[in-house]
Amino acid sequence: MPEITYRQALKDGMTDELERDENVVIIGEEVAQFNGAYKVTEGLLAKFGPKRIVDAPISEAGFIGMGIGASMLGIRPVMELMFWSFAYVAWDQMINNAANVRYMSGGQINVPIVIRGPANGGTGVGATHSHTPENMVASTPGLKVVFPSTPYDAKGLIKTAIRDNDPVYVMESTILYNDIGEVPEEEYLIPLGKADVKKEGADISLIAHGPSVKVCLEAARILEEEHEIDAEVVDIRSIRPLDEDTIVNSVKKTNRAVLVEENKPFCGVDAQIAYIIQNKAFDYLDAPVQRISALDAPAIYSPPLEKKQLPKADLVVKKALEIC
């Protein structure tokens, strides 16, 4: 099985769908002539032409609104945000309109739009370019939200997202773009709402999404090698819909859980997961559910300080040892 980067996996997935369905188009800042701010769309303009790979002005409210309107008429736009931080100027279009059209039309109008781009800290780009808004988006009925952590998941989820008839918001990470992993050349899809156990374990469940999955895998390695603790790592992959069964079954098996994410702690994704665990697996818990989030402050510009703001493997190990 060939090994490719997370970046290439996203491009391959979009290429597959552009070739499969002539209604798929890609729209965003610098996606065409500049080959994408992160080179995810490199070469697609030359292959598919300017009617399907479309550069947009620096006006997210304008081009996201245009994409939503196009999707209501049968086009399947894939909209690239240079940062998810820039989505906030299009919040009315993304949250108030895209999420509600199918409901308010009595199911007569679908909005098959994908909005994708990086949503992560850790790269020293400051507080206004480092938001992780998956919790805010996922709190909105009518929207679907995914955050792949591997090249395999990136390709499978982007293809599924493009084929979905509802708005799917795909969170990515600039930290992961160069990660390499095995990706099949043959056709495959990953269903929304299906988590993945990245590592089986018996003593404690480490539950995460996006770049925090890598943090948990490293923590699991340390726990096993240095402390003889067998940690299970659950990658939720799909934030909404959420695979509650895989999460709950893991905790029932291990009887302990540490939840890890880059979200801020207040009203984070893991707050919801902690509720689900205590509601559906309370009698199986041998210790309180623990959470590790980003420090509750705007993203720090200083690279050394920003590293301390984000979840790290040593913090996960420390928290795991406290409850094991």
- Residues annotated catalytic, as ranges: 60, 129
Q: Tell me which DSSP letter residue 97 carries.
A: I
Show Cβ contacts of residue 264 under 8 Å, excluding neighbours closer than 6 positions.
132, 293, 294, 296
Round to whole Å and give the CA distance between 298 and 306: 10
Cross-strand pairs, 76: 24
Q: How many CB atoms lie within 10 A of CB 4?
A: 21
Q: What are the distances in angstroms from CA 126 to CA 1, 106, 120, 300?
A: 38, 42, 11, 6
Round to whole Å and give the CA distance between 145 and 152: 17
Q: What are the distances in angstroms from CA 2 to CA 13, 184, 290?
A: 15, 7, 38
Tokens of 112: 């098959």
Tally the C-alpha atoms within 13 A of residue 139's C-alpha that lie toward its C-beta.
Answer: 10
Token pair 């929207």 is found at 143
Tokens of 49: 């032409």
Round to whole Å and give the CA distance between 283 and 251: 10
Q: What are the distances in angstroms from CA 300 to CA 51, 71, 216, 222, 312?
A: 40, 37, 23, 28, 16
User: What's at 115, amino acid-wise?
Assistant: I
Cross-strand pairs, 99: none
